[in-house]
Amino acid sequence: MKIKDLKVAVVNVPGLGKLGIVRVDTDEGICGYGEAHCPREHVLYLKNYVIGRDPTNIEGLMSRIRHLGGFKPWGSALSAIEMALWDIAGKALGLPVYRLLGGKVRDRVRVYCDCGAGIPLNPKDPASMYTPEAYAEKARRMKSLPEGFTILKFDIGFHGGQLLSVPGGSFEAERIYPTRGHVTERGLKSEIAIVSALKDVLGDEIGLALDCGPGQSYPSALRLAKALEPFNLMWAEDLLTGDGSPYTEVRLYRMLSMRTTTPILTGEQIFLRYGFRDLIDKHAVDIVAPDVSDVGGIYELKWIAEFADLYGVLIAPHNYSLPIAFMANVHAAAAMPKNFIAFEHHAAHVAEWEAFVEGIERPLIKDGFVNVPDKPGLGIEINENTVRKYLVEGLDFFE
């Protein structure tokens, strides 16, 4: 079997933005799908590197192109192709991808829901979404969703603009991303008031995680992490560096993690296992969060989970995707060791999200979990009608 073509269809989905659906075609009529979170040209640039190659020789092919990737979003094109290769290999062998990764450890995979900030209580006042009452109302609504999520994540700090909405809440920070700033007493109190309101709604029934940055100064991050200890959070994410940062503050993260009992998480922007080596080996964080669409693909995600498990570090993969990368996460997580917590779902509010693919169990998320499918490959096919509805680039995908 040889790769015949590589194509990309870009869709613009309200609530998610522009995402690329990658298709790798073979000369035997089997095609595989991946998902790219980068410009279409990044993927098509790799066409000449993969045409004519055996798609089932995944490691051999990926070793030819990995050096062309980098920190988010420069590794996304490679990650998407890698997903598609596993999809092809599974279809060719008549096996689900998790079987090719060594078999499943769990029949169901836990998913957590990203909730953003609060509900705008006053449509004329953007800052109204950042009050404790606004977060509490959002928590009540998310808690009642039919998916039955058991973990909810909310944005505080600089992420999403919460701290920037507080007059005098920080020094130096501007409305840019990634943000950098030192948090004042007033800013810290605003963060804690929100968390207290969220816990009043969620109690100990639903786990609460926080996306906090980047990037607070080290003293700010430490004060916040210490103040959060009584709330028994799932984790505090990206307090120092994270999405949008082309480096990882391993030394500072280690200092932070050693001085607080609040679990510390980072990693969504990192490309390949090498970027996680020091985070894990030095116990710089309690939880790593690679993204299958940026880290290098399914096998890279699985490898990082195995390595982290050796050191007692947990894993909660980041995910911001259509059902394609979502299902890549399901198969990878099914085969991970028991340091797996849950992976992220960022589309609870997105209409027709499930409609982008066919062949899945519906509803896909039940009681906060996804059942691991036994269909060959990723277990999905693309719904062309839905893709065409949101298509903005790549009509040749359907030729």
What does the pLDDT profile of the chain (399 residues) look like in tens digits? Answer: 999 999 999 999 999 999 999 999 999 999 999 999 999 999 999 999 999 999 999 999 999 999 999 999 999 999 999 999 999 999 999 999 999 999 999 999 999 999 999 999 998 898 999 999 999 999 999 999 999 999 999 999 999 899 999 999 999 888 888 889 999 999 999 999 999 999 999 999 999 999 998 999 999 999 999 999 999 999 999 999 999 899 999 999 999 999 999 999 999 999 999 999 999 999 999 999 999 999 999 999 999 999 999 999 999 999 999 999 999 999 999 999 999 999 999 999 999 999 999 999 999 999 999 999 999 999 999 999 999 999 999 998 887
pLDDT at 88: 98
Phi, psi dihedral angles at 367 (to 5 degrees): 55, 30
> Measured in whole angstroms, how far is the alpha carbon of residue 175 from the centre of its chain?
23
Dig out the tokens for 359 from the structure.
């062949």
Class of domain 3-95+382-398: alpha beta
| Torsion angle (degrees, nearest 10) of CA 249, 255, 261, 265 | 10
Residue 107: the pLDDT is 98
What is the reported pLDDT for 178? 84
Question: 138 with 201: CB under 8 angstroms?
Answer: no
For 59, 99, 327, 361, the CA distances from 379, given in Å and listed in that order, are 21, 12, 8, 10
The per-type count for the chain, helices as H runs and strands as E runs, is 13, 17
Determine if the peptide bond prior to 377 is cis (ω within 30°): no
Q: Which residues contact 234 (CB under 8 A, 6 or more apart)?
A: 112, 151, 153, 207, 208, 209, 263, 316, 341
Would you put residue 302 in left (φ > 0), alpha (ψ -120 to 50) or beta? alpha
- CATH 3.20.20.30: does it fit domain 100-376? no
The boundaries of every CATH 3.20.20.120 domain in the chain are: 100-376
CATH 3.30.390.10 residue ranges of the chain are: 3-95+382-398
Q: Are 162 and 187 in contact (CB under 8 A)?
A: no
The rounded radius of gyration (Å) of the Cα atoms in the chain is 21
Nearest to 248 by CA among 187, 193, 192, 290: 290
Could you report the per-residue pLDDT of 304-331, keeping only the tens digit for each? Answer: 999 999 999 999 999 999 999 999 999 9
Residues 6+ apart with CB under 8 A from 67: none
